[in-house]
């Protein structure tokens, strides 16, 4: 019984993991596409990637993937709080990456509000948001890479299962 | 001297305008500022005689803001990065350039059965929700609370995204100036973008923008949005004319009123680099902004799914 539970759990974990990775990949691509660099550096010349230099397209896609990220993040957090808290423990690298994602969501949402017609953030604050959003994603990508290479997990089981499971 | 004459004619124009519909007097400014309303300019293009006094006045008033690039420019990589240099062509006035923020477009069209040359001052429209400002990746372009959009030449990197996303492709680039020179000049950035800033500093001092002040024909009127929109509609009704700029790109703070349809004008004007069109423009920010509503529900959806699962689990545990 335990075995079945654990298998479905780890299956689900990898689904969450791959969905998260795909979302982050597209967010990073469309996000970096907000800077005028893909055309300059021939990325948009790669067949099939012409769209990355079209600002309105990448902007719209960034919003779409941001919505997916918010759904996934809030789901994982709620699931942790309601269901998994007793069973798993978030690692330090998990907390760090989590904080970076939440920072990205907060600065991103503020930038979405900035883009509405009636917004009136002070110019200095907008520069801060732009730079913070960019800075956070750079750190998150580096942290993510470090964790993948060193096989660091977001969370681990609080109680070790018996050997062989 | 030219300045004095223009001031005198401004006073004359201002008085005449005050007697009729216009909103060029100081109290209007104060009321616009107090109500935090956006300022709008109305251009009655029937009146324009194409004298280019506005073009000259703009350049005089804004010379200090113009770029003074250092040469030779640092080599940029890869080679395809275009060098945009207008510093030896500062006198060009037949299009928008970093050194010419307003120019006179002309169209020969039929008005009341008569072949007429219409001249139209063209510059930044100062959109209500300007994509040049909102989509600038650094916040170098900004919108003031009075609806003026301007590019901060101290932090602009010259990537030209504002020009790409502007429905009229208004901003123009000058290579060899600005912040990029201090960072990685060969690898990132390419100068600074320039465009009409609606003489924001003069407005802040309670003065009229130079092109409005100097015009001998009082082509332009500036005032709070509500009033100018009313005025534009009254004028269009009176002359059986057409309006451009009120709805374009979701609404702009520059309203043209013309005796001929803008479709006709658009066909008759010369368009191209630095020469904006008069085509209909949909609200460029709308698609993404409509998604913002979905973003509000995203966390609810995520949490609801988790709560649903929790509920199901407690049920099965029972
Ligand atoms: S807007 Fe006024 S100053 Fe400018 S060209 Fe027309 S008439 Fe002359
Ligand atoms: S017309 Fe173009 S440059 Fe001017 S505010 Fe609108 S988007 Fe910006
Ligand atoms: S408002 Fe000022 S900056 Fe803009 S075109 Fe007129 S004079 Fe030039």
Q: pLDDT tens digits, residue range B60-116?
A: 999 999 999 988 888 888 878 888 999 999 999 999 999 999 999 999 998 888 899
Interface of B with A in 112-131 (CB under 8 A): 128-129
Q: How far is the CA of B218 from the centre of ligand 3 (A)?
A: 15
| pLDDT at residue B317, rounded to an integer | 60
**Higher-confidence residue: B19 or A136?**
A136
ipTM for this prediction: 0.87
Whether residues B292 and A36 touch (CB distance < 8 A) is answered with no
Which stretches of chain A drop beneath a pLDDT of 70?
Answer: 1-7, 159-165
Token code pair at residue B37: 């309303």
| pLDDT at residue B11, rounded to an integer | 40
Residue B31 has pLDDT above 60, yes or no: no
Atom of ligand 1 nearest to the CA of B104: 5
Token code pair at residue A8: 């479905």
From residue B113, alpha-carbon distances to A99, B50, B256 in Å are 69, 21, 22
Domain boundaries in chain A? Answer: 88-157
| pLDDT at residue B22, rounded to an integer | 41
Phi, psi values for residue B283, rounded to 5°: -70, 105
Domains of chain B: 36-317 (3.30.70.20)
B62 and B202 Cβ atoms separated by less than 8 Å: no
**Higher-confidence residue: B182 or B199?**
B199
Q: How far is the CA of B119 from the centre of ligand 1 (A)?
A: 8
From residue A6, alpha-carbon distances to A3, B87, B176 in Å are 5, 70, 62
**Higher-confidence residue: A7 or B145?**
B145
Tally A–B CB contacts below 8 A.
Answer: 117
| pLDDT at residue B33, rounded to an integer | 52
Atom of ligand 3 nearest to the CA of B41: 1
A30 and B262 Cβ atoms separated by less than 8 Å: no
From residue B93, alpha-carbon distances to B63, B105, B121, B300 in Å are 14, 10, 11, 55
Q: What angle do CA A54, A59, A64 make, to 5 degrees?
A: 125
């Amino acid at each position: 019984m335990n075995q079945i539970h654990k298998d479905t759990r780890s299956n689900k974990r990898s689904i969450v993991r791959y969905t998260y990775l795909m979302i982050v990949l597209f967010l990073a691509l469309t996000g970096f596409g907000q800077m005028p660099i893909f055309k300059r550096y021939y990325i948009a010349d790669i067949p099939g990637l012409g769209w990355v230099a079209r600002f309105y397209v990448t902007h719209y896609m960034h919003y779409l993937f941001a919505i997916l990220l918010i759904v996934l993040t809030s789901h994982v957090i709620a699931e942790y709080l309601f269901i998994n808290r007793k069973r798993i423990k978030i690692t330090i690298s998990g907390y760090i990456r989590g904080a970076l994602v939440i920072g990205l969501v907060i600065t991103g949402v503020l930038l979405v509000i900035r883009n509405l017609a009636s917004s009136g953030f002070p110019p200095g604050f907008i520069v801060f948001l732009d730079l913070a959003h960019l800075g956070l994603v750079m750190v998150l990508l580096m942290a993510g890479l470090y964790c993948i290479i060193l096989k660091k997990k977001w969370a681990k089981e609080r109680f070790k299962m018996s050997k062989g499971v | 001297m030219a300045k004095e004459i223009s001031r005198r004619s401004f006073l004359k124009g201002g008085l005449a305008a005050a007697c009729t519909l216009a909103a060029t007097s100081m109290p209007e400014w104060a009321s616009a500022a107090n109500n935090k309303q956006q300022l709008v300019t109305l251009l009655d293009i029937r009146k324009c005689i194409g004298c280019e006094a506005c073009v000259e006045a703009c350049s005089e008033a804004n010379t200090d803001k113009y770029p003074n690039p250092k040469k030779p420019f640092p080599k940029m990589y890869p080679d395809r990065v275009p060098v945009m240099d207008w510093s030896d062509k500062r006198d060009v006035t037949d299009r928008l350039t970093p050194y010419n923020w307003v120019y006179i477009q002309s169209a020969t069209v039929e008005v009341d059965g008569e072949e007429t040359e219409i001249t139209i001052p063209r510059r930044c429209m100062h959109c209500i929700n300007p994509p040049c400002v909102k989509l600038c990746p650094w916040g170098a372009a900004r919108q003031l609370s009075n609806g003026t959009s301007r590019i901060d030449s101290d932090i602009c990197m010259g990537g030209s995204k504002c020009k790409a996303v502007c429905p009229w492709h208004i901003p123009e680039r000058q290579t060899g100036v600005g912040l990029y020179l201090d960072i990685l000049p060969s690898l990132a950035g390419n100068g600074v973008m320039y465009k009409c800033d609606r003489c924001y500093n003069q407005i802040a001092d309670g003065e009229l923008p130079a092109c409005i002040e100097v015009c001998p024909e009082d082509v332009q009127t500036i005032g709070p949005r509500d009033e100018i929109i009313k005025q534009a509609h009254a004028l269009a009704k009176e002359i059986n004319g057409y309006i451009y700029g009120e709805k374009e790109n979701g609404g702009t703070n520059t309203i043209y009123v013309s005796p001929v349809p803008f479709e006709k004008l658009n066909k008759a004007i010369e368009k191209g680099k630095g020469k904006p069109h008069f085509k209909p423009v949909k609200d460029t920010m709308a698609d993404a902004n409509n998604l913002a509503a979905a973003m509000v529900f995203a966390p609810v959806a995520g949490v609801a799914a988790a709560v649903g699962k929790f509920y199901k689990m407690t049920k099965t545990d029972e």
